[in-house]
């Protein structure tokens, strides 16, 4: 792979939407990419649409945990390796599937995930910021929003 020249042309993207993604495994994978000549990698997470083919509401806590795990991967990797993170929001699993969560019900999840990434974690202060930004009085992350 190193001799092919591909590492000078592309940057790999590591996808994982799990709330309990394997941090050590991802760090090891990044090290493998580095040894092959890739200087930068991307991460891909999801703020909606990755928890069930016919999911209608977004469970914010699942996506928040995924982003917090990605932050751990980033902090355990060389500082210069991460190029960015793509927050995906899947609309359907394939072209023949029903739509999963629509964007309006997922906006709180997007806001929580973006704030967690921006602040390097999630705290009561971060929660209060999201509530203020969205005009909400009680942001629920472990149950479905009402």
Q: Is 61 a member of any domain? A: yes
Q: Residues in the chain with pLDDT < 50?
A: none
**What pTM value is reported for the model?**
0.92
Residue 14 bridge partners (DSSP): 43
Task: Read off the CATH number of the domain in which 111 is found.
Answer: 3.20.20.80
Q: Within 13 Å and on the Cβ side, how many CA atoms surround 12?
A: 17
Q: Is 37 a member of any domain? A: yes
Domain that holds residue 64: 11-132
Count of domains observed in the chain? 1
Q: Is 5 a member of any domain? A: no
The pLDDT value given to residue 100: 86
The pLDDT value given to residue 95: 86
Q: Is 142 a member of any domain? A: no
């Amino acid at each position: 792979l190193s001799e092919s020249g591909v590492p000078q042309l592309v940057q790999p993207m590591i996808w994982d939407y799990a709330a309990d993604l394997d941090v050590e495994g991802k760090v090891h994978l990044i090290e493998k990419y580095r040894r092959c000549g890739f200087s930068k990698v991307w991460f891909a997470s999801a703020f909606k649409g990755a928890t069930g083919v016919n999911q209608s509401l977004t469970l914010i806590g699942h996506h928040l945990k995924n982003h917090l795990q990605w932050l751990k991967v980033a902090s355990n990797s060389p500082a210069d390796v991460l190029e960015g993170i793509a927050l995906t929001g899947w609309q359907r699993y394939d072209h023949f599937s029903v739509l999963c969560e629509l964007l309006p019900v997922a906006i709180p999840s997007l806001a929580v995930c973006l704030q967690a990434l921006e602040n390097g974690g999630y705290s009561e202060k971060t929660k209060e910021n999201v509530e203020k930004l969205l005009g909400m009085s009680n942001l629920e992350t472990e149950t479905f929003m009402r």
